[in-house]
Amino acid sequence: MYEMISIESSLFMRSFLPDSLTFKTLGAGFAALLLLGCQATDAKKAQPVTPDFGANVIILDPGMSPDAIQNKLDSLFKQQEANQFGPERYAVLFKPGVYHNKVKLGFYTQLLGLGQFPDDVMLQGGIQVEARWHEEDATQNFWRSVENLSVTPDNGTMQWAVSQAAPLRRIHVRGNMLLDDNGGWSSGGFIADSLIDQQINSGTQQQWLTRNSTVGSWTNANWNMVFVGVKNAPDGEHWPTPPYTVVEKTPLVREKPFLTIDSTGAYQVFVPALHTDTQGISWQQAHVAGETLPLSQFYIAKAAVDTADSINTALNSGKHLLLTPGIYTLNKPLQVTQPNTVVLGLGIATLKPVAGNVALSIADVDGVKLGGVLFDAGEKNSDVLLQIGDHKGTVSHANNPTTLHDVFFRVGGAAVGNATHSVIINSNHVIGDNLWVWRGDHGNGIGWAINKTKHGIVVNGDDVTMYGLFVEHFHDYQTVWNGDNGAVYFYQSEAPYDVPDQQSWMNGSVNGFASYKVGDQVTRHKAVGMGVYCFFNDNPSVKLNSAIEAPVSDQIQFQRMTSVSLGGTGEITHLFNNLGDAAKPGNEVVRMRAAP
């Protein structure tokens, strides 16, 4: 008779004992040792096992050597600092505790605290994003993020010189913040659900959205600074001097789900509840409303091994989806058909269709949450990269809307990409929270006839709300809004840079296509804090007739609009319909308080 008893990695054999020998006849000490071994085995079984997130998820523990942590972080930054279109993706997870480290953050890197609250993870050294790799010009500092931790900057100021697709969420800055690099241009950006103890200096930032945060104070402005549900927001009564647009409360929002661990070390995803009429951070209470989902309910996908089929099998079985860092090449759509499904990306996880297919489709169901994902168009044209709802329907999702958080789109830049539309929203009551929809204007696979598109985003659903909508460089209307009762809080857009000549960009007899087009059938719409720019650098004689086009009605309201001819390179002749002065050389910035 041979029986093995495991105590961690040690093996105990009973084979050397006579069959008649029992615990009663064993020596007390040896019996106690065996009993202790069994208890240790049980205790070991009770300890949660760290999930296999793959090699590109770096998990840090405060018990590690600060020097070892710093070496990891510095090595990662060195690799990613200028890696704008590289394939590497990383997530750095901080277990609760205090870290005496300073983090410099490069491309495709997410920092995520694993505590229940931001102050559970404390970086005593700070976080820094600068643009030395690009001559202090931060207009290309994209694709990175920080969530759910607190920062004590070593010099008192956290530098976050970024542009689009670089969100800060659920952070506590114990000091000041600076949003540029030594006066070089920056074109951001987004902060939500965050506490900044002292002053935010936006520096040269062209535009910025701050939502549901508490700030000590704010200084500086450029073209379009919008504050929604922010405590201690600056005074917006004197717009446009300075151009601060202030909305006192956020009408309806759900904060982004995030990965966390409990007191036993078990990994979970917390899904915040839906909130109405809010101001300030969501985590000031001891108990934050929401749902905790054990990670056992998630399929943990890895780009190196998973296919559309394997991921769809998991989704169809009722699993949520955690996309670990990487680029997922898809020859068919990922299909979310179950209500309340959570699809959460780590480390700017990227979905890339390669067969002219949709990358991700979400059925017309309640409560899907999609966050932290970059859609990158493949060379073979896709009609759409993300589709929500198969067609315009009548189903109400008012009590449990689908929400999109830090969802980004790219057509060209890393390589040739083609997509007629980046995102189409057919479902009703969808909430978007920081979307950057970008036809590449630099990098690889770039050109008027190379990275071909039509629209960036088309909204057919009713009662759709967007907080922070950035849409840039598409060939036709950038944004088409056909649904009724839509609302946008902060919009930033640039016309395509690379129009070869006016004849190539005509909407019938009209010069160019408006950035923001509200359908003629729409009866109710609201948009606050709008910025539309042009930079026709291939042919500065090109003109755009109107930045915004919409039906004229008392129920269609546009407030605080700005058009800019960047460096006087081209012209936007009118701001709204055929109203407003031209933004052009010598008169580069034009504003309108309200329309119609």
- Residue from 152, 159, 166 nearest 195 by CA: 152
List the 267-272 sheet strands across, edge first.
258-261, 267-272, 290-294
Considering the candidates 81, 130, 147, 494, report the single residue annotated as catalytic. Answer: 494
- How many other C-beta atoms lie within 10 A of the C-beta of residue 75? 10
Please give the full DSSP string across 404-432, using - where no structure is assigned.
Answer: EEEEEEEESBSS---EEEEEEE-SSS-EE
- Identify whether the C-beta of residue 437 lies closer than 8 Å to the C-beta of residue 417: no
Residues 71 and 184 in one domain: yes
Q: What is the CATH number of the domain that holds 165?
A: 2.160.20.10
Element at 79 (helix H, strand E): helix 66-80
User: Does the residue 170 lie in any domain?
Assistant: yes
Q: What is the pLDDT of residue 48?
A: 85
Phi, psi (degrees; rounded to nearest 5) at 212 = 45, 60
Burial class (CB within 10 angstroms; exposed 0-12, middle 13-18, buried 19+) of 183: exposed
Give the 3-state DSSP-derived string for 85-103, with helices as H, strands as E and coil as C.
CCCCCEEEEECCEEECCCE
Cα torsion through 471, 390, 327, 491, rounded to 10: 10
User: Does the residue 90 lie in any domain?
Assistant: yes
Residue 35 gets which letter from DSSP? Answer: H
- Identify whether the C-beta of residue 413 lies closer than 8 Å to the C-beta of residue 445: yes
Q: What is the pLDDT of residue 47?
A: 74
Could you list the residue range(s) of the whole structural domain that residue 178 is in? Answer: 57-248
User: Does the residue 443 lie in any domain?
Assistant: no
Residues 84 and 11 in one domain: no
- How many other C-beta atoms lie within 10 A of the C-beta of residue 585? 13
Residues 109 and 238 in one domain: yes
- Identify whether the C-beta of residue 236 lies closer than 8 Å to the C-beta of residue 254: no
User: Does the residue 498 lie in any domain?
Assistant: no
Number of domain units in the chain: 2
User: Does the residue 397 lie in any domain?
Assistant: no
Residues 135 and 206 in one domain: yes
Show which of 191, 221, 248 is a domain's final residue: 248
Q: What is the pLDDT of residue 37?
A: 52
User: Does the residue 594 lie in any domain?
Assistant: no
How far is it, in rounded angstroms, from Cα 250 to Cα 489? 9
For the entire predicted model, the pTM comes to 0.92
Residues 123 and 67 in one domain: yes
Q: What is the pLDDT of residues 385-416, one digit of tens each?
A: 999 999 999 999 999 999 999 999 999 999 99
Residues 63 and 42 in one domain: no
Query: Which residues fall within 8 angstroms of residue 127, CB to CB, at 6 or more apart?
Result: 102, 103, 104, 105, 111, 146, 151, 153, 158, 160
How far is it, in rounded angstroms, from Cα 16 to Cα 18? 7
Residues 238 and 174 in one domain: yes
Residues of the chain with pLDDT under 50: 1-36, 38-41, 43-44
Show which of 206, 231, 248 is a domain's final residue: 248
How far is it, in rounded angstroms, from Cα 425 to Cα 440? 22
Q: What is the pLDDT of residue 61?
A: 97
How far is it, in rounded angstroms, from Cα 455 to Cα 369? 24
Is 81 considered catalytic here? no
Burial state string for 159-169 with b = 16 or more CB within 10 A and e = fewer than 16:
bbbbbbbbbbb
User: Does the residue 423 lie in any domain?
Assistant: no
Residues 176 and 36 in one domain: no
Query: Which residues fall within 8 angstroms of residue 375, CB to CB, at 6 or more apart?
Result: 350, 351, 352, 359, 360, 385, 386, 407, 408, 409, 410, 422, 423
Residue 540 gets which letter from DSSP? Answer: T
How far is it, in rounded angstroms, from Cα 355 to Cα 238? 52
- Identify whether the C-beta of residue 343 lies closer than 8 Å to the C-beta of residue 333: no
Residues 31 and 104 in one domain: no
Show which of 214, 248, 282 is a domain's final residue: 248
Residues 9 and 141 in one domain: no
- Residue from 349, 255, 356 nearest 301 by CA: 349
Residues 136 and 25 in one domain: no
User: Does the residue 231 lie in any domain?
Assistant: yes
Q: What is the pLDDT of residue 46?
A: 61
Residues 85 and 221 in one domain: yes
